[in-house]
Amino acid sequence: MCRGKGKVVWRAVTDQQFGDLITQYEKLVYTICYQFTRNHHTAQDLAQEAFLSAYSHLDSCPEGNEKPWLARIATNKAKDFLKSAYNRKIYATADDTLPEDKGALFMAATQPEDITIEKDTVEQIAQDIRNLKEPYQQVAILYFLEEKTVDEIATQLERPPKTVHTQLYRAKHKLQQTLKGGDTDEFVF
């Protein structure tokens, strides 16, 4: 069945037609999954899950809109994976001050030295964020460390969202300069 303009229409899709759909969109679905996860094996698994989900929910596919429908399924599968407890697993850290979601930075590290270097890098960036001057410090802490949305920050700090966007842009610029070891007091616009 296919939903379109309030109507529900049964749509019969043969295995051959679904196979053709996979062949046509497999690169798109894989690319979407890879863009989120940055891991080839994970992206392959998620792409397969996306097509399995698509097959079992063919009845909700808007006819003629297979591409955006499959893209949305792939995006949701990748986002669900990134939110999963498995993905957020943190390798042992001595400092629990970082939010649990930051543990994904440690996932790629396999050697103890790599874990230590990654942990030190994350801690240094977190410290650089805390060292920003106002009005950038509060906005950067809320956005990068507490992972709040721009709207949540604007509400909490009683600032217009446009102002928060500008302050985030400038905070990112200052952080980039700090990481490069350059002067953070000037802006070139």
User: Mean pLDDT in the chain?
Assistant: 75
pTM of the model: 0.43
Bigger pLDDT: 135 or 113?
135
Using one digit for the tens of pLDDT, what is the confidence trace for 94-120?
344 444 444 444 444 444 555 555 566
Using one digit for the tens of pLDDT, what is the confidence trace for 138-168?
888 888 777 888 889 899 999 898 998 898 8
* C-alpha distance from residue 78 to each of 57, 83, 135 (Å): 17, 9, 34
Cβ burial, residue 108 (10 Å; 0-12/13-18/19+): exposed
Give the separation between CA 153 and CA 143, rounded to whole angstroms: 7
Using one digit for the tens of pLDDT, what is the confidence trace for 20-35?
889 999 999 999 999 9
Task: Residue 50: count other Cβ atoms within 10 Å of its Cβ.
Answer: 25
The confidence score (pLDDT) of residue 70 equals 92
Using one digit for the tens of pLDDT, what is the confidence trace for 57-73?
888 887 788 899 999 99
* C-alpha distance from residue 67 to each of 21, 61, 145, 160, 177 (Å): 9, 10, 35, 37, 40
Give the separation between CA 147 and CA 88, rounded to whole angstroms: 14
